[in-house]
Structure 1
């Protein structure tokens, strides 16, 4: 009996080690993605349009309620226009609901809150889902995203 338990343990050891390695890798990916989102928010809030666009993959596809579907060029142009129109006045914050990682892909469900400084007036509150991909350079970038305003909380609704 002891021999059977020992053989079973030896057979299961690689699978347990692989599962532990994957869990460590998933936690590292989640940490990296959180850092990327924080860096994007800091870049946007200081008005750096070029740095905000670095988060997006070259083949980005986006869908936002009230805006045409966009690629990286279109999204970056919208960001640059918003920042130029209200220099230093717009500020983003985010609230991550969950992150799911699977290899080189990750899904992030989050809420984006856009306010106007200095009074902190709510401009919009959007629920979103971002699909990140780890690219050849090891950086996590958004390849796909969807966002929609929270009913009754979008300050621009009805205008």
Structure 2
């Protein structure tokens, strides 16, 4: 009797467990795709390619960056293009990903961006941020929302961080 109950329970749970394994694989694939998108954005920025940097952002992008007006895709892309044009190839970003949580077609990324000046790599700014990615209809992950705020380069991490 116990054996039969275990067998019935296993048969009832099998589709749920299989779905959980599939979802986990999809989430891992999403995380890998997002890491690749952020790496491609960093490379595009560092080579001065403003058009390629804009491809990371969804058409309905909303952003909040401390010290800058709230932005949509056009405003964010314009700020990036202006910075790249002004810098004459002297600016470079480093991206430090702290966490990626994926659930279906949405993901949250917690990260730090360090803006440096070439050729010496002197850090100009350090921004902590949170990006909300969405897998668009074309299957490509894009940032739909993001928030960023500058942190002091010399600031020591607070306890527990």
Taking structure 2 as the reference length, what is the TM-score of the superposition?
A: 0.93
Partners of 1:87 and 1:27 in 2: how far apart?
A: 38
- CA offsets per residue over residues 49-80 of structure 1, 9 Å max, x none? 00000000001011100100011000000000
* Contact 2:110/2:131 (<8 A) preserved: yes
Size of the aligned set, in residue pairs, is 154
Q: Following the alignment from structure 1 to structure 2, what is the Cα–Cα distance between the partners of residues 47 and 13?
A: 51
- Displacement of 1:152 in angstroms is 4.6
Shift of 1:133: 0.4
What secondary structure, in the 3-state scheme, does the structure 2 residue paired with 1:58 have? strand
1:32-51: CA deviation from partner (whole Å, max 9, x where unpaired): 00000000000000000000
Matched ranges for 1:11-26 at <5 A:
11-26=12-27
Match of 2:54 in 1: 53
1:127 alignment partner, SS class? strand
Shift in Å at residue 153 of structure 1?
Answer: 4.9
Query: Hey, which bits of structure 1, 4+ residues long, moved more than 3 A?
Result: none
Aligned equivalents of 2:18 and 2:50: distance in 1? 43
How big is the shift at 1:103? 1.0
Conserved 8 A contact 2:126-2:153: no
Following superposition, the deviation at residue 102 of structure 1 comes to: 1.2
The Cα RMSD (Å) is 1.1
User: Normalized against structure 1, the TM-score is what?
Assistant: 0.94
Consecutive unaligned residues of structure 2, counting only runs of 5 or more, are 156-161
